[in-house]
Amino acid sequence: MHVLTGSRNRNAVDAYLQKNPVPNLSFHYVDVPCIDPSRGGAQRYCLWLYFSLREARRLSRTMAFDVAHHVSYGSVLLPSPLWRLGVPTIFGPVGGAQTSPPSLLGYLGKAGTRERIRTFVIHVSRRLRIYRARMRRMSIVLAANQDTFVHAESTGCRRVLLLCDTGLRSDYGADSSRRFIRSLPIRFLWVGRLLPRKGLPLALDALARANPNTELTLVGSGLDPEIVRRMIRERGLDGRVHWEGARLPWMQVREAYATHDALLFTSIRDSFGSQNLEAMSVGLPVISLRLGGARDFIPDAAGLKVEVGPTIRDTVNNFVDALNQFVNMSVEERNRMSEAAWRGAQEFSWTRRAEVARALYAEARGKP
């Protein structure tokens, strides 16, 4: 197997392979000339696709590839060019066709205009002849949520499968589900970057109106600390919302999952949300909006899914009802939620993902 990636990953890859050699695995590092490798953005990525295709073509002169698999960047709006190698091409898992509900755009502030433009681009793209032609070149498209699945099918793709874009190391999850005890206050957890589309104000608005025997711990960064503290203060949540003002190391976040009662996932637009899987793996129930990958991949029995209403007020009311419902649950009900969450997370291990990939490669080649 040959892997094309950016040179900024070289040190981490080399260090891992020194300790964990993998036979028949080679890495090739591709960069975009004259552009800082640390810079992101679609423009740089499109250029990277061009140079990675050029490197793949160079390699194909001396070896015969059976399948090409494009796994990143994870947007369905930028189809892989690897089909030009003349071999079956698997694209994904990719998201990107999910959009923000119009009724919640008020939470995005100035970013709402950009979100409307993004939604327009998604709707228009499926009608563009050049885009549809490139999508049809893919042998298999792996959609990271139902919205992307429908979008890919609408372009005429030959085969589209629903597959979450997130996996988890086997040593991260707990050995079994949680066993709750009856105690107050109920401690909710919110994990993520403090971006407008992550919906933190929704979580705070719901908490402010929910049972007062509830608290919320925030884990994440991305906004000016004073802005976050003002958001908390204006809603009268001082003493009920706890925030250290910074991101936490991955394993430290795991400790937070293990010491809270439920995860709140309020993203207004997301392919899935790796924090959902991390929480489920230690048996933590998830209370989320019924949107994107959270709607598709969190088992219904593993938490509570909140319907988006026709207005912000309606959605907040629905979330308040969910928080209060969780507070009033018996220990046995929460334990059953934890069991469903923990068992659901087992399907997302990288080992099982590797088995899925092997089966897809065989299918793409037309072999059992």
What was the pLDDT predicted at 244?
83
Task: Convert the pLDDT of each residue in 316-351 to its tens digit.
Answer: 999 999 999 999 999 999 999 999 999 999 989 898
Q: How confident is the model at residue 39 (pLDDT cuts 50, 70, 90)?
A: low
**Maximum mean pLDDT: which of 5-14, 164-173, 302-311:** 302-311
Residue 207 has pLDDT above 70, yes or no: yes
What was the pLDDT predicted at 36?
64
Average of per-residue pLDDT values in the chain: 92
Residue 368 has pLDDT above 60, yes or no: no
Residue 37 has pLDDT above 60, yes or no: no
What was the pLDDT predicted at 34?
66
What was the pLDDT predicted at 367?
64
Residue 38 has pLDDT above 70, yes or no: no
Determine contact, residues 49/68, Cβ cutoff 8 Å: no
Helix, strand or coil for residue 206?
A: helix
Q: What's the average model confidence in pLDDT over 54-80?
A: 92
- What is the per-residue DSSP string for 243-284? E-SS---HHHHHHHHHTSSEEEE--SS-S--HHHHHHHHTT-
pLDDT > 90: what percent of the chain? Answer: 78
- Residue 18, classified by CB atoms within 10 Å of its CB into exposed (0-12), middle (13-18) or buried (19+), is exposed
* 68 or 38, higher pLDDT: 68
Q: What's the average model confidence in pLDDT over 153-172?
A: 91
Q: How confident is the model at residue 311 (pLDDT cuts 50, 70, 90)?
A: very high
Helix, strand or coil for residue 15?
A: helix
Q: What's the average model confidence in pLDDT over 50-69?
A: 93
Closest CA to 327 of 277, 265, 279, 262: 262
What was the pLDDT predicted at 33?
78
Task: Convert the pLDDT of each residue in 68-107 to its tens digit.
Answer: 999 988 899 999 999 999 999 999 899 999 999 999 999 9
- Ranges for all domains in the chain classified under CATH 3.40.50.2000: 186-346
Determine contact, residues 254/227, Cβ cutoff 8 Å: no
What fold characterizes domain 186-346?
Answer: Rossmann fold (3.40.50)
Q: What's the average model confidence in pLDDT over 137-162?
A: 95
Q: What's the average model confidence in pLDDT over 109-113?
A: 91
